[in-house]
A = this chain, B = another copy of it.
């Protein structure tokens, strides 16, 4: 898997948002979902994804449980209550940052 350098700083937000819309997801599923939604343009690397999931769990934003499917272990993640609040907060930040960035780069779409 390969990634975009612009991803920096947004990975946690992406994970949290996906888990807001999906109740529970496992790591590999997250990589596939991101690939699907972005038509293959954003591919999460495992070296970035798993440490990010571990950190979100350590921070109390995610909780986990495992399940064996086809003799393979899946580790499912879901939002904690704290995590639910964090989604809102991170989304606000992302929204604001995208606005400012578009202003700086003159990419602001003209509202008709």
Give A contacts to B, CB under 8 Å: 4-10, 13-14, 17-18, 21, 34, 37-38, 41-42, 91, 93-98, 100-107, 109, 111-112
Copies of this chain: 2
Task: Give A44 Cβ to nearest chain B Cβ, in Å.
Answer: 11
Q: Which residues of B contact A21 (CB under 8 A)?
A: 106
Query: Out of B93, B104, B111, which one reaches A38, CB within 8 Å?
Result: B104
Q: B105–A13 contact, CB under 8 A?
A: yes
Task: Give A22 Cβ to nearest chain B Cβ, in Å.
Answer: 12
CA distance A40 to B5 in the complex (A): 25
Given contacts A109-B109, A112-B112, contact A42 B104 (CB under 8 A): yes
Q: B107–A14 contact, CB under 8 A?
A: no
Task: Give A35 Cβ to nearest chain B Cβ, in Å.
Answer: 11
Q: A5–B9 contact, CB under 8 A?
A: yes
